[in-house]
């Protein structure tokens, strides 16, 4: 585990945006810049089943974060991560395409006949343009070892999909129903 020395008051949690994950954590990691706080551990080509991540990856709520590398097949001891074929660009607040987010589902058993689980992974990688722009800005300084393959680093976020756990930040279904009942009240009551 990295430098996990974040001393924040109760209520602060690691809830990074896609942009923060890519721009702050992944980009800095890939360009060998120091990450502060260095909270996300590097698990390499992690061979762990998702339920083994606790204690190894950065855990927040029901989500786990770690650095890894791109690979063609993500095998673990009891299964494999299957690509869901969903690739979304990560757009920065300034409108740049900074990365790509791919989704995987964990299957238990041997590929390709494994059984799907609720475990989901989002893999954040740098987009080619982001990587090349980095290499140009950094290459002047680091010409000596400029052969860093930026595309190899990824950040993974693993979680078990279930009913949304929003800590009450959104409206519950019941609240929504009550809200629409309020509409009905106003319609049927003249006052």
Partner 1 sequence: MPENMSISVNGQSQVPPGFRFHPTEEELLQYYLRKKVSYEKIDLDVIRDVDLNKLEPWDIQEVCKIGTTPQNDWYFFSHKDKKYPTGTRTNRATAAGFWKATGRDKVIHSNCRRIGMRKTLVFYKGRAPHGLKSDWIMHEYRLDDNISTDTNIISNGMGEASQEEGWVVCRIFKKKNYHKTLDSPVSTGETRSQMFDSCNGGAALEQILEYMGNGSKEEKEGKRSGRFLRQIDTGVKNGYHETFMKLPSLESPSSTSCQNYYQPINPDHHMITENEGLAGYQMESSSSSAALTNWAALDRLVASQLNGQTGFSDPTMPYGPTDHHHQLQFPTLRSSSSISSSNGSYHPTRQDYNTEIDLWSFAQSSSDQLCHVPNAPV
Pick the stretch among 98-106, 118-126, 139-147, 164-172 that binds partner 1 (CB under 8 A): 164-172
The answer to whether 137 contacts partner 1 (rule: CB under 8 A) is no
The answer to whether 48 contacts partner 1 (rule: CB under 8 A) is no
Question: From the list 112, 141, 143, 164, which residue makes contact with partner 1 (rule: CB under 8 A)?
Answer: 164
User: How many CB atoms sit inside 10 A of residue 168's CB?
Assistant: 8
Pick the stretch among 5-13, 114-122, 127-135, 142-150 that binds partner 1 (CB under 8 A): 5-13
- Residue 118 region by backbone torsions, left for phi larger than 0, else alpha for psi between -120 and 50, else beta: alpha
The answer to whether 21 contacts partner 1 (rule: CB under 8 A) is yes
Nearer to partner 1, 12 or 94 (CB): 12
Nearest to 26, CA basis, from 103, 99, 106: 99
Contacts of 136 (CB under 8 A, 6+ apart): none
Pick the stretch among 14-22, 76-84, 96-104, 120-128 that binds partner 1 (CB under 8 A): 14-22
User: Do 27 and 130 form a contact (C-beta atoms < 8 A)?
Assistant: yes
**Maximum alpha-carbon separation in the chain:** 78
Nearer to partner 1, 112 or 183 (CB): 183
């Amino acid at each position: 585990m990295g430098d996990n020395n974040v001393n924040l008051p109760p209520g602060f949690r690691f809830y990074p945006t896609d942009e923060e994950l890519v721009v702050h954590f992944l980009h800095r990691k890939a360009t060998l810049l120091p990450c502060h706080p260095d909270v996300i551990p590097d698990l390499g080509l992690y061979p762990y089943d998702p339920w083994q991540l606790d204690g190894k990856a950065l855990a927040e709520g029901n989500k786990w974060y770690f650095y890894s590398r791109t690979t063609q097949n993500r095998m673990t001891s009891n299964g494999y991560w299957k690509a869901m074929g969903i690739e979304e660009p990560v757009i920065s607040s300034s409108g740049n395409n900074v990365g790509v987010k791919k989704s995987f589902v964990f299957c238990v058993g041997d590929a390709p006949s494994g059984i799907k689980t609720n475990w989901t992974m989002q893999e954040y990688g740098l987009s080619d343009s982001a990587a090349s722009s980095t290499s140009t800005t950094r290459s002047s300084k680091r010409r000596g070892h400029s052969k860093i393959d930026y595309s190899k680093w990824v950040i993974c976020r693993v979680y078990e999909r279930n009913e949304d756990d929003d800590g009450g930040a959104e409206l519950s279904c019941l609240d929504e129903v009550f809200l629409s009942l309020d509409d009905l009240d106003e319609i049927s009551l003249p006052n």
